[in-house]
Chain A
């Protein structure tokens, strides 16, 4: 199958997010493929390893620096990538990002599009679902197991949503979003990392997508970022384990009124 995976470059989840003047400080932080997107990449690789044939193409909207993130995905085993690399298309809200990615997908050939259920930076959980709607594709969200019919015309998906599990079926092509549990992403091999340097990355600008950036008016405006409200300093309960545990229950009952 020909598979496209939407990937986003996000700060490493072990990164502390620093805010200065209402903006997120991005200097000196490590960047990764958003973990849920990485499940998508892994699943795409496994699908083609199992069923043979077809290509895995990464699609990324991001600044020039996102090339490094795209290379990480290529090092894992993806065949090639499209980088929508145009400053005029960056910084929009989820509605704008979805329109840009939908325009790019219109130019691509695929049997299935995979993406993360959300990116772990803005946590919007909108883009993949919106892209599906804009392209009039069916969408199955938050999938933890994915199988195909023998003719590869439909997929059967185990989903995990709000603590419940169910099975959804969809015709293909479709967009399927990955939830944690879909797979265990591999680490890149040295050979993969070396090979990634030679794999093709195609850059597309707004004009390549037939988009006029001025017409992509965002609906939302991010006014500022702030650190989360600071928690008041806590207290360590003295004494040995037994004494402290007793005191804890008393405090939870009488002071915090939490039990």
Chain B
């Protein structure tokens, strides 16, 4: 049986948390399938990432580190990863189910003619292969997917598994060559974001507003509370369609799927497609004037009230409580 290979993801020279979570999943899979856990890091100036990865208990780190990888170019990244995978000859490849990870997973899989199970949240080893569970229809249903044979690629949803802790011993780091390709498609410019909002997909706390927020000003108030909690701001489709907030904050089946530790829905009625995008959050709070709003069926804690009456008190209380920390 081959090894378990994780493809780590970095952002501006730092490993993303999901990379450590992949190590945890790989260790579990290796217990059932056998084989060692190895890791790949790919990017420009990723020496520190490779070293951090080497201290997670993996047996070896492959490092593709080159200025040619400074900007994302799918062809170069995928060919380099495919080469690394051929070299490592794993039975399972794990990637993060981020936008980048999903794209690279699909591209590499097409090169190798492998299957990819996208966005897995649990797995079991059975009969020498892997069976995964993953949300489909944005979480309205769960699918159980079996890899008919190994090797297989699985992308793992962030924030589901605990990150592997750092260890004192470091695994060897082996350089791998960057594929010598002149890419036809490539990123030429990174766009600086105007707002320093927290990324919805990674946020531990998400506060979303809906029709009840009434205006862009309503969202300004939501943002104040979000800031106190280090939370990302989300929105329902109604609020986005009304133009009160950018579409990129939309949570739901046609927006972002989120699963934070805490989701606070303010003035959101809970359309089916919105519920699909947030109902796997750990703790859900709903504030809505309408006691029959469907959002209350998904909520752990509900308050039947106008969100504008709740927000000021919430802010004061949070200030007190957070100061106690």
Contact = CB atoms under 8 A, between A and B. Distances in A.
Given A123-B118, A174-B185, A35 B309 contact: no
A158 interface: yes
B161 interface: no
Interface of B: 71-72, 74-75, 78, 98-100, 102-103, 105-107, 109-111, 113-119, 131, 135-149, 152, 183-191, 193, 199-202, 205, 229, 247-248, 250, 252-255, 261-262, 271-273, 276, 279-280, 282-285, 291, 296-306, 309-310, 313-314, 317-318, 321-322
13 contacts: A17-B140, A123-B118, A130-B109, A166-B72, A180-B254, A219-B147, A228-B141, A231-B298, A237-B303, A241-B310, A242-B309, A245-B313, A249-B314
Interface in A221-256: 221-229, 231-232, 234-237, 240-242, 244-246, 248-249, 251-253, 256
Given A171-B185, A225-B136, A162 B201 contact: yes
A11 B276 CA distance: 13
B272 A13 contact: yes
B81 to A, nearest CB: 12
B184 A259 contact: no
A16 interface: yes
Given A120-B253, A227-B142, A246 B313 contact: yes
Contacts of A240: 305, 309
Given A228-B141, A244-B305, A218 B148 contact: yes
Interface stretch (A77-85, A139-147, A186-194): A139-147
A216 to B, nearest CB: 11
A139 B98 CA distance: 17
A163 B142 CA distance: 25
A220 B149 CA distance: 8
Name the prevailing secondary structure of the B interface residues: mixed
B301 A134 contact: no
Contacts of A235: 300-302
A223 B201 contact: no
Given A14-B272, A226-B144, A158 B191 contact: yes
Interface of A: 11, 13-17, 19, 24, 35-36, 93-95, 98, 120-127, 129-130, 132-134, 138-142, 158-171, 174, 180-181, 217-229, 231-232, 234-237, 240-242, 244-246, 248-249, 251-253, 256, 258-259
B106 A181 contact: no
Nearest to B142: A226
A25 B229 CA distance: 41
A258 B261 contact: yes
B318 A259 contact: yes
Given A225-B141, A237-B303, A244-B303, 7 more contacts: A123-B119, A140-B185, A166-B187, A226-B144, A231-B284, A246-B313, A252-B283
B321 A253 contact: yes
Contacts of A93: 115
B141 A138 contact: no
Contact of B300 (A95, A124, A256): A256
Given A219-B152, A226-B144, A166 B110 contact: no
Contacts of A158: 191
Contacts of B255: 180
Given A126-B118, A220-B145, A138 B191 contact: no
Nearest to A129: B106
A134 B110 contact: yes
Nearest to B280: A228
Contacts of A248: 285, 301, 303, 310, 314, 317
A214 B262 CA distance: 48
Nearest to A254: B321
A248 B107 CA distance: 46
A79 to B, nearest CB: 26
A124 B149 CA distance: 19
A121 B301 contact: no
